[in-house]
Amino acid sequence: MMREWLSVLACSAVGLALASPEGVCQSQTSPVSGTVKVDGSSTVFPITEAVAEEFRKTAPQIKVTVGISGTGGGFKRFTVGEIDVADASRPIRPAEHEKAVQNRIEYIELPVAFDGVSIVVHAKNTWIDSLTLDEIRRIFTDGSTVKRWNHVRPAWPDRPVRIYAPGTDSGTFDYFKEVVVGEKGAIRSDMSVSEDDNVLVRGVEGDENAIGFFGCAYYFENRNRLRAVPIDGGSGPVAPTHETIVDGSYAPFSRPLFIYVNRRSADRPDVRTFVEFYLSQAAELSEEVGYVRLPEQVYETARSVFAARKTGTHFLDDRGEKRHGRFVELYR
Amino acid sequence: MTRHAIHVGAALVPRRRSRARTRVVEGLIVVVLAGCGFFSILVTFAIIGVLLEEARAFFTMPGVSVGEFFLTTTWSPMLGAEKHFGVWPLVLGTGLVTMVSAMVSLPLGLITAVFLSEYAHPALRAAFKPALELLAGIPTVVYGFFALTVITPFLQRIDPSVENYNAASAGLAIGFMCLPIVCSLSEDALQAVPRGLREGAYALGGTRFDVALKVVVPASLSGITAAYLLAIARAIGETMIVALAAGSLAHLTLDPRQPAQTMTGYIVQIFLGDAEALGVEYRSSYAVAALLFILTFVITILGNRVMHRYREVYE
Amino acid sequence: MSGSNGRSRSPRLRRWRDRAFLILCASIAGVSMFVLAWLIGEMVSQGVAHLDRDFLTSYPSRRAASAGFKSALWGSVWLVCVCAAVALPLGVAAAVFLEEFAPQRRTWRAMHSFAGLNISNLAGVPSIVYGIIGLTVFVRMFGLFGSPNLSMYDQWERVRLQDGTHAAGRLVEQSDQSLVLEHPRDGVRSIVSAAITSRDSIHIRRHKLELSSGRRLAGPHIGRTSEGLLELDTDDRERVVIDPAEVVSYEYSRVLTIGHPDSFFYFRLPLGGSVLAGGLTLMLVILPIIIIACREALRAVPSSLREGSLALGATRWQSVRRMVLPAAIPGIMTGCILAVSRAIGEAAPLLVVGGLLVVFAVPQNLMDDFSAMPLQIFNWAGRPQEDFHRLAASGILVLLMVLVAFNMLAIVIRQWFHKPLT
């Protein structure tokens, strides 16, 4: 009786091993193989997902797993060395940089695309023709008394304001907060919050009184259900389109998207191959998913930075404080 | 059968020398089995231990107090200038969704059970049972998907003010999920009523309606109560349906057309957001999980005790 | 009864009320059937379009048209196998103990009945709580073995060559023909692949160096500068530059791992977000269900079998093993199959343990990251595009078909073994 059970067990174990489609491989003579762990921003996720998918076609032996913990969540894991690549929709912050230094993690900062954070409303929302930065500030600051749309402009209807926003782990949230209320400010707390931008899209498209914000790729992907509000940053209302994001006129919400690579992981052949592939395909694939490609010279710079394994961030100075300036000037 | 037993028995009676050895081996086997049997107690202690420890760590963090947790009504752990940890919006969200589900599963489940037990032809019962088992066996993700893509648009057609994420769809889906539980447990309770009671009632001229509603149901009330309690415990602990369909807005509302965040929905939100941090938000999910566990555990214990009691009465 | 509240009721009125109530009951009972039919109908109508061979053999994709269920399907298979392999023996053994070996002495009996009661209560615990426990106990292992992230440590390759010697070092380059390894003392070596008999991936906990000056250094990370000098990160978090020529002796200590990440039997501690951790967490979820079902099956065996066997001089274990268990096997198998089918559909604990990952591969060993059918459905369902909803519906159809197959198996077993036990 016992013997039969044991043989059944052994057979099923063997069967399972053989049935598993990739089979059992003792990679003694196979080409580069390994696992690349990526996690972080859900804004950057569509690009990384596209790259991982295309990469699989060229190098099926290398497994790439992509998570969506949010930029903050990704950095938390990155700075303890748990993942090889962190997707980020904002540059690394001083506190995260400190943590990395403490854990002896060196990183290589690589931009991959441009994004324009789109402020969207329901497709049937006809009254919002544009929003000034000031109005945005009034709506979103913590303690805001704007509860109905006619609090913003008296001509607008008396309807409740419903907000859908990314969570605090989101780089989009950090970026938006910094632009709208500044580093020391705070955003109001009575919003529907989710790390998953898809959830936000869903929320806004189902509520005529809703307003939300997320990366422009999610807007372009759902253009028939949503309306992006033109933003008046001081020189007239500008809607987020490919052109306005590229030339920077969609201000102040145009921003670069990054990946951060662990320097020690970069020395591994599997990670190195993946990142080189990423940088070579980022222009094309980022446009395909709805973002905007960077100028070619920036990609060149990124490739040389990676090849030379230059570590550190271009956005914090030696004292660990933020540098300000145009992206193209800072990253060189 | 008895001949077989005798053969087996005869073969089992060992010689005197190896009888001692058999006793030792048997003792070992019993110890191993006992270990397996008591493993579940270990699991319970692990649950209580981990949750209480993390909840304690949460409450000892600066800016957090037990009083605020249980007495205030704003839950905004991540946004705003100050973090607020009043748990009532989450509890109320859970309550709202559970209430909607109870309005579906409790009455419908009981009446279906009455139908199956008192009225239905045995062939019909035999056909119903597997269908109910199937309904009970459908994974909750499927119900969540159903709530999001079918129930919500359906509700929106009836009442356009229903939002894309709302408590009603989730509640209805959970109700359908719990219906088989209520039905099968109630039916067991109804079936456990001795035939003598029924036959006496029929003999006195009662119709099936009279017998069912005036004799059988009251007699099995404790079993039905147990069924209700267990179904509610299940509804409170449901995660995937609310994660997909109910939204993530933690506010005090009793309007099922609006989104509502439940305790389980919040826990999922935190664990999907970041899994490595040791900050206040992360710990708060453990505190919420501890509260959730205590709630469901108490209700389940109550339900099991009631069920035990009614079973003893009739056996 | 007819005159119980003083009002006289005509028989016709009462019959009519009886009939009306019957119709009410029947229609409400029909509601559940209607909902079931509606649900399945919706899934079929939305999902059947995508359901083809390609769906089952391709990986997820950003384009709905080419996305597939392969990684989720095989991930589920691995998870359920691990779960069943642990839960089934544990559950059956526990049920046997609780039913057949009730102790005589009072204290033990109290514990015994407490264990039984405990299991009914555990069955009602929300599955996400089990996920949280799984995260602490199986993924992080209470922090006892360090972090689950082996990327913290230097990862080296160690190979055994045909002539019996070993070589180890950091992997610099890898191709079909050769392997290039860098060793702190031996420098950069190129090894022909054909000469390799076996290969391991190891993680270095600590490097230990002794220099010609007598100085001893130790630390977790070692690297090489562009000038060819060694750079050691010491335990005190300092960085020391060393001339390789000064190194007198060198040795390293390893982190516990067995095998290579690509091999079938790769194992490391702590388990991290691996298939093993996920399977063990699922085991926690279904264990109470298995125990309860098996206890029912054992209870259904008539006590005459036990008593007869005991009367003939068999010990308790012998009676259980030879008489009771074989008689209860159909019930036990049915219970186990139903419990396992529950495990297939669980998503919440896996979300907590593994996270929502997009995985483009099938698990190759127990330590791999995993995807699972319910998780992939959850992922697709959360996207706003209609195409992904249809994909989710196709995934649901696959999942339901698997579950129906399991249920059928249980029913068949029930029928097959339905022998009257006199």
Residue A269, chain C, CB below 8 Å: the answer is yes
How far CA C246 is from CA of A204, B114, C212, C237, C243, in Å, comes to 66, 88, 5, 22, 6
Strands, DSSP E only, in C329-406?
357-359
Q: pLDDT exceeding 90 applies to what percent of chain A?
A: 17
Residue B8, chain C, CB below 8 Å: the answer is yes
H-type alpha helices, A181-310:
197-205, 216-221, 242-246, 263-266, 269-289, 296-307
Task: State the pLDDT at residue A22.
Answer: 37
B chain contacts of residue A196, beta-carbon cutoff 8 Å: 272
Q: Return the higher-pLDDT residue of B63 and A178.
A: A178
Task: State the pLDDT at residue B294.
Answer: 94
How far CA B244 is from CA of A277, A294, B75, C219, in Å, comes to 35, 35, 20, 47
Kindly indicate the confidence band of residue C270, based on its pLDDT and cuts at 50, 70 and 90. confident
Taking only the tens place, the pLDDT of each residue in C156-177 is: 888 888 888 888 888 888 888 8
H-type alpha helices, C101-234:
106-122, 127-134
How far CA C162 is from CA of A129, B260, C106, C145, in Å, comes to 75, 65, 65, 34
| Residue A172 predicted with pLDDT over 90 | no
| Residue C190 predicted with pLDDT over 80 | yes
C chain contacts of residue A27, beta-carbon cutoff 8 Å: 199, 260, 262-263
Q: Return the higher-pLDDT residue of B127 and C144.
A: B127
Structure tokens belonging to residue B181:
């539980």
Taking only the tens place, the pLDDT of each residue in A42-57 is: 889 989 999 999 998 8
B chain contacts of residue A142, beta-carbon cutoff 8 Å: 79-81
Q: Return the higher-pLDDT residue of A332 and B209.
A: B209
Task: State the pLDDT at residue B43.
Answer: 92
Three-state SS across C315-346? CHHHHHHHHHHHHHHHHHHHHHHHHHHHHHCC
C chain contacts of residue A64, beta-carbon cutoff 8 Å: 360
Task: State the pLDDT at residue B271.
Answer: 83
| Residue C3 predicted with pLDDT over 50 | no
Q: Are A26 and C175 a contacting pair at CB < 8 A?
A: no
Q: How far apart are CA C70 and CA C181, in angstroms?
A: 35
Residue B296, chain C, CB below 8 Å: the answer is yes
Interface test with B, best of A42, A103, A193 (most B CBs within 10 A): A193
Residue C98, chain B, CB below 8 Å: the answer is yes
The mean pLDDT of B222-248, rounded to a whole number, is: 91
Task: State the pLDDT at residue A29.
Answer: 37
Nearest Cβ partner for B274 among A69, A193, A194: A69
From the DSSP assignment, how many helices (H) and strands (E) are in chain A? Answer: 13, 13
Nearest to A94 by CA among A329, A262, A323, A309: A323
Interface test with C, best of A36, A76, A78, A82 (most C CBs within 10 A): A82
Task: State the pLDDT at residue C2.
Answer: 46
Most confident segment among A30-34, C35-39, C401-405: C401-405
Torsion of CA B121, B127, B132, B135, to 10 degrees: -150
Structural contact between residues C209 and C218, judged by C-beta atoms closer than 8 angstroms: yes
The mean pLDDT of B54-62, rounded to a whole number, is: 86
Q: Please name the chains neighbouring C, where neighbouring means 3+ C-beta pairs under 8 angstroms.
A: A, B
Task: Kindly report the average pLDDT of chain B as a whole number.
Answer: 84
- Report pTM: 0.84
Nearest to A272 by CA among A264, A177, B252: A264
Task: Kindly report the average pLDDT of chain C as a whole number.
Answer: 84
Structure tokens belonging to residue A162:
């419903």
Task: State the pLDDT at residue C354.
Answer: 84
Three-state SS across chain B? CHHHHHHHHHHHCCCHHHHHHHHHHHHHHHHHHHHHHHHHHHHHHHHHHHHHHHHHHHHCCCCCCHHHHHHCCCEECCCCCCCEECCHHHHHHHHHHHHHHHHHHHHHHHHHHHHHHHHCCHHHHHHHHHHHHHHHHCCHHHHHHHHHHHHHHHHHHHCCCCCCCCHHHHHHHHHHHHHHHHHHHHHHHHHHCCHHHHHHHHHCCCCHHHHHHHHHHHHCHHHHHHHHHHHHHHHHCCCHHHHHHCCCCCCCCCCCCCCCCCHHHHHHHHHHHCCCCCCHHHHHHHHHHHHHHHHHHHHHHHHHHHHHHHHHHHC
Instruction: Count how many pairs of residues, chain A against chain B, have C-beta atoms within 8 Å.
Output: 85
The mean pLDDT of B210-236, rounded to a whole number, is: 88
Task: State the pLDDT at residue A105.
Answer: 85
Strand, helix or coil at C240?
A: strand
**Exposed / middle / buried, residue C355 (Cβ in 10 Å: 0-12, 13-18, 19+):** buried
Taking only the tens place, the pLDDT of each residue in C84-127 is: 999 999 999 999 998 888 777 788 888 888 888 889 899 999 99
Task: State the pLDDT at residue B228.
Answer: 93
Q: How far apart are CA B128 and CA B121, in angstroms?
A: 11
Task: State the pLDDT at residue B275.
Answer: 47
The mean pLDDT of A96-102, rounded to a whole number, is: 86
Task: State the pLDDT at residue C73.
Answer: 93
Q: pLDDT exceeding 70 applies to what percent of chain A?
A: 89
Kindly indicate the confidence band of residue A3, based on its pLDDT and cuts at 50, 70 and 90. low
Q: How far apart are CA C27 and CA C29, in angstroms?
A: 5
* Lowest mean pLDDT segment, chosen from A111-115, B230-234, C171-175, C305-309: C171-175
Angle between helices A171-180 and A71-78 (to 10 degrees): 120
Interface test with C, best of B8, B32, B138, B141 (most C CBs within 10 A): B141
Task: State the pLDDT at residue C54.
Answer: 84
Task: State the pLDDT at residue A26.
Answer: 37
Report which residue type is found at C177: Q
C chain contacts of residue A25, beta-carbon cutoff 8 Å: 262-263, 364
Q: How far apart are CA C329 and CA A158, in angstroms?
A: 68
Most confident segment among B63-72, B102-111, C325-334: B102-111
DSSP C138: I
Strand, helix or coil at A329?
A: helix
Taking only the tens place, the pLDDT of each residue in C296-312 is: 899 888 888 888 888 88
Q: How far apart are CA C221 and CA C12, in angstroms?
A: 93
How far CA B215 is from CA of B109, B120, B200, B207, C24, in Å, comes to 19, 18, 10, 11, 19
Nearest Cβ partner for A203 among B76, B81, B165: B165
The mean pLDDT of B229-252, rounded to a whole number, is: 90
Report which residue type is found at A250: Y
Structure tokens belonging to residue C376:
């992939």
The mean pLDDT of A278-303, rounded to a whole number, is: 90
| Residue A138 predicted with pLDDT over 60 | yes
Structural contact between residues B89 and B73, judged by C-beta atoms closer than 8 angstroms: yes
Q: pLDDT exceeding 90 applies to what percent of chain C?
A: 22
Most confident segment among C61-70, C187-196, C280-289: C280-289
| Residue B278 predicted with pLDDT over 70 | no
Beta bridge partners of B144: none
Interface test with C, best of A5, A103, A198, A219 (most C CBs within 10 A): A198
* Lowest mean pLDDT segment, chosen from A23-37, A243-257, B12-26, C97-111: A23-37
First CA to last CA across chain B, in angstroms? 29
* Lowest mean pLDDT segment, chosen from A15-29, A94-108, A152-166: A15-29
Nearest to B262 by CA among B95, B79, B99: B95
What lies within 8 Å, CB to CB, of A278 at 6+ separation is A48, A51, A55, A110, A112, A259
The mean pLDDT of A271-295, rounded to a whole number, is: 91
Structure tokens belonging to residue C290:
């298995």
Q: Return the higher-pLDDT residue of C418 and B102.
A: B102
Nearest-neighbour CA in chain A from C304: distance (Å): 24
Q: How far apart are CA B104 and CA A55, in angstroms?
A: 49
Taking only the tens place, the pLDDT of each residue in A28-38 is: 334 677 889 89
Structural contact between residues C278 and C77, judged by C-beta atoms closer than 8 angstroms: no
Domain assignments of chain B as residue spans, ordered by start: 3-60, 75-310
Structural contact between residues C389 and C381, judged by C-beta atoms closer than 8 angstroms: yes
C326 CB-side CA count, 13 A:
12
Kindly indicate the confidence band of residue A5, based on its pLDDT and cuts at 50, 70 and 90. low
| Residue A4 predicted with pLDDT over 70 | no
The mean pLDDT of C239-245, rounded to a whole number, is: 84
Q: How far apart are CA C114 and CA C122, in angstroms?
A: 12
**Exposed / middle / buried, residue B278 (Cβ in 10 Å: 0-12, 13-18, 19+):** exposed
* Lowest mean pLDDT segment, chosen from B162-166, B301-305, C150-154, C254-258: C150-154
Kindly indicate the confidence band of residue C146, based on its pLDDT and cuts at 50, 70 and 90. low
Q: How many C-beta atoms lie closer than 10 Å to residue B211's C-beta?
A: 22
Q: How far apart are CA A232 and CA A117, in angstroms?
A: 14
Task: State the pLDDT at residue A18.
Answer: 45
Residue B249, chain A, CB below 8 Å: the answer is yes
The mean pLDDT of B202-208, rounded to a whole number, is: 83
Nearest to A32 by CA among C176, B261, C35, C232: C176
Kindly tell me the sign of the dihedral angle through the C-alpha atoms of C343, C344, C348, C350: positive
Among residues 234-263 of chain C, which lie with CB inside 8 Å of chain A? Answer: 237, 260-263
Q: How far apart are CA B101 and CA A324, in angstroms?
A: 54
B chain contacts of residue A209, beta-carbon cutoff 8 Å: none
Q: Are A66 and C358 a contacting pair at CB < 8 A?
A: yes
Task: State the pLDDT at residue B182.
Answer: 92
Nearest CA in chain B to A41: B273
| Residue B172 predicted with pLDDT over 50 | yes
CA C277, distance to chain mean position in Å, is 6
Task: State the pLDDT at residue A221.
Answer: 85
The mean pLDDT of A159-169, rounded to a whole number, is: 85
Q: How far apart are CA A201 and CA A206, in angstroms?
A: 9
Q: Return the higher-pLDDT residue of C304 and A8.
A: C304
Nearest CA in chain A to B89: A190
Q: Return the higher-pLDDT residue of C260 and C402.
A: C402
Strands, DSSP E only, in C138-246?
154-161, 166-174, 178-183, 187-192, 196-211, 216-219, 221-224, 230-233, 239-242
Angle at A260 between CA A257 and CA A265, to 5 degrees: 155
- Please state which architecture CATH assigns to domain B75-310: Orthogonal Bundle (1.10)
Nearest Cβ partner for A207 among B84, B163, B277: B163
Task: State the pLDDT at residue C53.
Answer: 83
What lies within 8 Å, CB to CB, of C219 at 6+ separation is C206, C207, C232, C233, C234, C235, C240
Residue C118, chain B, CB below 8 Å: the answer is yes
Structure tokens belonging to residue C160:
């055994």
| Residue A293 predicted with pLDDT over 70 | yes
Structural contact between residues C221 and C170, judged by C-beta atoms closer than 8 angstroms: no
Q: How far apart are CA A228 and CA A24, in angstroms?
A: 51
First CA to last CA across chain A, in angstroms? 72
Task: State the pLDDT at residue B81.
Answer: 60
Kindly indicate the confidence band of residue A168, based on its pLDDT and cuts at 50, 70 and 90. confident
| Residue C277 predicted with pLDDT over 80 | yes
| Residue C12 predicted with pLDDT over 50 | yes
Q: How many C-beta atoms lie closer than 10 Å to residue C221's C-beta?
A: 17
Structure tokens belonging to residue C62:
């950003």
Interface test with A, best of C56, C62, C70, C257 (most A CBs within 10 A): C62
Task: Kindly report the average pLDDT of chain A as a whole number.
Answer: 82
Kindly indicate the confidence band of residue B12, based on its pLDDT and cuts at 50, 70 and 90. low
